[in-house]
Structure formats: structure tokens, C-alpha cells
Chains A and B, each alone.
Chain A
Amino acid sequence: MQLGDISDVAMSGLVAQRARMATAASNLANAETTRTPQGGAYRRRDPVFETQRLGDPFDQQLGKALQRVHVSSVAVDSQPGIQRFDPGHPDASADGYVELPRVSVVEELTNVLSAGRSFEANLVILRKVREMAEAAMQIGR
């Protein structure tokens, strides 16, 4: 169905924003984590969004252009963590410095807000598409 294809695009937006929310939550939760399986402090993560052609184009001209979004990969911060002098810390090095994640709480919270707003925008699209489908169904009555 044609209106279903539009819902598909909005759904992709919901999934992508949820992924963004999840990485921000992970970054916030691990803002003080000094120990990871990979060794060293936690490195902040960021989803990489990429456009993706809609599999089943419903319009000859728009079909070639219509794009949904998907998370192509999750980028891990390559910068080393912040060094803080804390000799009593169990993960402190010999000279008393401990490596802390390079996570900015303000930046992550901004991400959470922005992701939430984008999620809502995609929800509005879904609701409107459903209303359009309902209006179209009224024609036959």
C-alpha cells in the first residue's frame, strides 16, 4: 500500500532516534566508568546516520529520491580519556593519574533532548499518515 511506504520512512526515523537515545544513555551511564573489557576508560559512542533508498518505490519520480534513515555504524570516540590526579583510585597509574571517559554531560543531555524531539516529529508523521488513510477510507461510505 502506498501510504504504508510513508509509514515505513517515519518508522525508520523512530528507530534511528531511539538508537541515538540509547547511545546517549550509554554515554551518560558510563560517564565515570574507568574499566572496560577493551581496557582503559569508557569511550563515548555516537550513531552514524545514513540515508537508504526505499526498497519499493511507489512513485516513478519520487521513488528514486525517497529515502529512509538507518544507523550505518556506531562511531567510538578515538580520543584518549581525561587524566585526573587521584592516587587513591583503584585504576590509578603508578604516577597517580586515572583515565576518565571524555563524556560531556551537557552534550549528552542535548542529544537526548534533540533525539526526543525528532522522535516526536516522526510520530506526528505516522499519526497524520494514518489520518490520511482513514480519510481515504471515508470516500467509499
Chain B
Amino acid sequence: MNRIYGTAIPDLETQMRFRMVRQGALASNVANADTPNYRRLDVTFEEALHQANGADPSAAHRVTRGPRGTRPDGNGVDRDQEVIGMVRNAGAFQDMATVLARIYVMRRMAATGQLS
């Protein structure tokens, strides 16, 4: 099966996991948009690290913490920015889920010899 689809399935899985973890970080930022001295969280996907670690998805991303904010309460979160990032992140997740679903449909078609 891997000969047909290459590493598409594990790659999509890793990316979806990353998107989900990042969604958690952005949700944390929005929830704490009014908490004094809160520093924003983000998650970066590290391709090189992912390859170096083989297929260990938990090692493929890194959590970063933003600087202290310039607002009087020391909070570094721009709520609108977080919501925009979160919508884009969720969109990327949904795109990959759609692709993954199509791959499984194609696999089923190949296995059964029937369309759809």
C-alpha cells in the first residue's frame, strides 16, 4: 500500500496532530487574553527534527513562549490575531482530514474493484 501512496498517510497524521496541538496552544491564548502577565504560547513544526526522530510525532513540534506584552497588565496576546490564526489552523486540519478521507476511499476502491 505504501508503494501507491508513499508516506502520505503517516505524514498527514503527523501534520494533523501538529495542527491539533497548535489549536490547544491558541485556545489557551484566547482564554487567557485578559490574564495579567500571561505569555502567549505557540507550537512550531520542525521538519528536520521530525526526520531526525523518525516517525515520533510528539518530537516533531516544539512549544514556544512569546515575550511579555507591552500592555500595562503585561499580557502579550492580541485576541484578534489569535482567532485568525486559529481559524486558519482549523482550516488546515480540515483540509488534511479531507485528503486522508479521500485516500481511504481510494484504497477501498482499489481493494474492492468497485467505484465509491
Q: In the complex, what distance in Å separates the CA atom of A68 from the CA atom of B38?
A: 11
Interface bits A24-62 vs B (CB < 8 Å: 1, else 0): 000000000000000000000000011100000011111
Enumerate chain A residues within 8 angstroms of B63, measured Cβ to Cβ.
Answer: 61-62, 64-65
Across the interface, do A118 and B33 meet the contact criterion of CB distance under 8 Å?
yes
Contact indicator A131/B90 (Cβ below 8 Å) = yes
Tell me, yes or no, whether A79 is within 8 Å of chain B by CB: no
Q: Determine the distance from Cα of A12 to Cα of B24 in the docked complex, in whole angstroms.
A: 13
Q: Which residues in B have their C-beta under 8 angstroms from that of A141?
A: 101
Instruction: Check if A6 sits within 8 Å of B23, measured CB to CB.
Output: yes
B20 interface contact, C-beta 8 A: yes
Query: B101 to A67, Cβ gap below 8 A?
Result: no
Contact B94 A131, beta carbon cutoff 8 Å: yes
Q: Smallest distance from the beta carbon of A92 to chain B beta carbons, Å?
A: 37
**B79:A58 contact, CB within 8 angstroms:** no
Interface string of A91-121 (1 = CB under 8 A from B): 0000000000000000000000010011001
Instruction: Tell me if B41 and A65 are in contact (CB < 8 A).
Output: yes
Report the bound CA distance from A3 to B63 in whole Å. Answer: 18
Choice from B28, B34, B35, B87 contacting A128 with Cβ under 8 Å:
B87
Asked if B101 and A139 make an inter-chain contact with CB atoms under 8 angstroms apart, the answer reads yes
B34 x A49 contact (CB < 8 A)? yes
Q: Are B26 and A125 in contact (CB under 8 A)?
A: yes
**Contact between B31 and A20, CB atoms less than 8 A apart:** no
Give A1-33 as 1s and 0s: 1 = Cβ < 8 Å from B's Cβ atoms.
Answer: 011011001101100110010000000000000
Q: Which residues of B contact A (CB under 8 A)?
A: 16, 19-21, 23-28, 30-36, 38, 41, 43, 58, 61-63, 65, 79-80, 82-83, 86-87, 90, 93-94, 97-98, 100-101, 104
9 residue pairs, one from A and one from B, having the closest CB atoms: A13-B31, A135-B97, A128-B90, A135-B94, A49-B35, A9-B27, A139-B101, A69-B31, A61-B63
Write the residues of chain A forming the contact surface with B, with a CB cutoff of 8 angstroms. Answer: 2-3, 5-6, 9-10, 12-13, 16-17, 20, 49-51, 58-62, 64-69, 114, 117-118, 121-122, 124-125, 128-129, 131-132, 135-136, 138-141
17 new A-B contacts at CB < 8 Å, known A65-B25, A125-B23: A6-B27, A13-B33, A49-B35, A59-B58, A62-B21, A62-B43, A62-B63, A64-B63, A65-B65, A66-B25, A66-B28, A67-B28, A114-B34, A118-B33, A121-B80, A121-B82, A132-B20
